Amino acid sequence: MSAVTPDTESTLRAIAIGDVDAIAAAVDLREAQQERTGLDPRTFALVKIAALIALDAPPASYAWQVANALNDGATPEDILGTLRAVAPQVGGPRVIAAAPEVMVALGLALDAEEG
C-alpha cells in the first residue's frame, strides 16, 4: 500500500463527506481548466461527458458531469446528442452502458427490466 500524506487523506475525507470548501476548490480547478481550453462552458461540459462515455467511467462520474453540463446551459437533448455523436467512435456497448447512468444523473427512473 502506498503511503498517504495527512494532507491528502484530509482532503479526500473532506470531499467524500461533501465539505463545501473542498468541493469549491475542485470547482475552481474545473473553471481554470475550462478557461484554458478556449471552449465555452456548455461545450466543455459536453466534451467531458463524451470522455466519460469513451472511458466507460464509473457511475458517480456521470452525476457530477451531467449536473455541471446542465448548470452550464446544456439540455438533456444536448446530452443525448453527445451520446449519439460518440457512438460511432466508442461503440454501442459504451453508449448502452452510459445511457442508464445519464438517466439516473438526470433524475429519470429506470424500469426494472432496464437495469
Domain boundaries, the chain: 1-38, 39-115
Question: What does the pLDDT read at residue 13?
Answer: 84
Write down the pLDDT at residue 50: 97
What does pLDDT average to in each consecutive run of 10 residues of the chain (115 residues)? 84 75 69 82 95 92 90 96 96 95 92 60
What does the pLDDT read at residue 113?
Answer: 58
Q: How far apart are the first and last CA of the chain?
A: 35
Q: What are the C-alpha distances in Å from 36 to residues 25, 40, 41, 92?
A: 17, 10, 11, 32
Is the pTM for the entire model greater than 0.95? no
Residue 24 has what pLDDT?
67
